[in-house]
Amino acid sequence: MRILLLKPRWEIGYGQMRYAKRVRFPALGLGILATLSAGHAVEVVDANWDPIPFDRDWDLVGITVTTFAAGTAYDLAARFRAKGAKVVLGGIHPTIMTDEASEHADAVVVGEAEDVWRDVLEDVARDALKPVYRAEAPTDMTTVPRARRDLLNETRWFTAVEASRGCPNKCIYCYLPATPWARFRPRPVEDVVDEVRSLPQPVFIFVDENIFTDRDHAIRLFRALAPLGKKWLVQMPTDRADDDELLDAMAAGGCFNVHMGFQSFNKESLADAQVDHAPRVEKYREIVRRLHDREIVVSGFFVFGFDGDRPDAFDTTVAAIRSIGVDDAGMFIATPYPGTQFHKRFEEQGRLLEGATSDHFGWSRAVFQPKHMSPEALERGVRRAYDALQGHFLRRLGWVLRTQAPVVLKAPRLAWVFIAGTLRPHRLDSRSRG
């Protein structure tokens, strides 16, 4: 069969992730499905970087769907179905919104696709596709093959690695607790290290939701990576940053940047978001210092719009970010994704805004009525906070470039990413109100 595996373009505002558009993240999940499609002619397309081959005939088109790209995915599905291809939708949005997704596809995969993909291929070949393929349990990570990286549009200096899946935390705004794959599952350390060893790229990101869930496993992995000389970045929860043994293993293993979800400096907002694993706000400065002592860049993530946030939240956050010395900041508008407790709350309270379509769910648009301000004020406040922090980011840039010289020597392109992201940050979604 001729199979196209497609990731739609992510039509979201990139202002809140200032470096995102300058770094190419490979579609690992589709690469894994390509491996599981041995014996067929497979192509993987990431529409963020690749042209979509509408002019070719396909027997099967598999599309991975996020909420903010759902409208785009459905349009693509219709276009390929009109040409005679069978279309299968999978990913987070079809898993949560199965009935909706089924209206736009020949079949929907609910849950992780690895254990059902061969059934899908066999049924397509027999012209006997079922409407829904449901993974019975989270995938055993010891059975997941490596992605076919020869089909992925990767750069020569940067790529992605998956060492685990799942996270035990229950943050009210996170989609993960609503999915069938929330349970934490690590890959064997030796498998991850062997894959990293095989990569030509000197820099990579761990795409795990929470690689730190199993502390001892994480330490073993980081220590095993040390001899390889690779440099990497990772998403890290704040509650792990007071562990010197863990931090030392990270630094020795090649970590140069953490993406840390501080979420808020407002204790009321943290409680509202059910971020009960976070340390006291008073410890944030110490967390950053510990990482800086090991020359690890700290990219802090912050969320606005919780019921504890009032109009002064933006100025308070700007001052606090300067105070604790975060090197970069991603600032997001709280977004009630379907299936989350957040969405259920706002739906029950009648606070979801009419007219908000799926492409508004990209972190830079207010799609609900905040408790203490207007949706327009929430959006303006985030934009104003970015503007107010520009000088701080510029001052931190010197330290970042100085301490990361060994990484830049391995991957000179990284220096451009740091500099361009700081000097010419992307604005938030131009469709934002106000």
Q: Return mean pLDDT, the chain.
A: 91
Residue 88 has pLDDT above 70, yes or no: yes
pLDDT for 135-172, tens place per residue?
989 999 999 999 999 999 999 999 999 999 999 988 88
Helix/strand/coil for 235:
strand
Q: Is 371 helix (H, G, I), strand (E, B) or coil?
A: coil
3-state secondary structure of 62: strand
Q: d(Cα 364, Cα 220) in Å, to the nearest integer?
A: 38
With a threshold of 0.85, does the pTM exceed it?
Answer: yes
How far apart are the two ends of the chain, measured CA to CA in Å? 49
Encoding tokens for residue 98? 């199965």
- The residue type found at 151 is L
Nearest to 358 by CA among 10, 53, 20: 10
pLDDT value, residue 434: 40
CB 235 within 8 A of CB 259: yes
pLDDT of residue 431: 44
- pLDDT exceeds cutoff 90 at 346: yes
Q: Give the HSE-up count for residue 272: Cα atoms under 13 Å, Cβ half-sphere.
A: 20
| pLDDT higher than threshold 80 for residue 432 | no
372's tokens: 């203490």
* pLDDT score recorded for residue 31: 98
For residue 99, with 0-12 CB atoms within 10 Å meaning exposed, 13-18 middle and 19 or more buried, which class applies? Answer: exposed
Q: What is the pLDDT of residue 363?
A: 84
φ and ψ at residue 262, rounded to 5 degrees: -65, -30
The partner residues of 329 in beta bridges, in order of sequence, read 300
Confidence of residue 24 (pLDDT cuts 50, 70, 90): confident
Which one has a higher pLDDT value, 340 or 88?
Answer: 88
Which tens digit of pLDDT belongs to each residue from 374-431? 999 999 999 999 999 999 999 999 999 999 999 999 999 998 888 877 776 545 444 4
- pLDDT at position 86 over 80: yes
Which residues are within 8 A (CB) of 322 and not within 5 positions of it... i.e. 6 or more apart?
389, 392
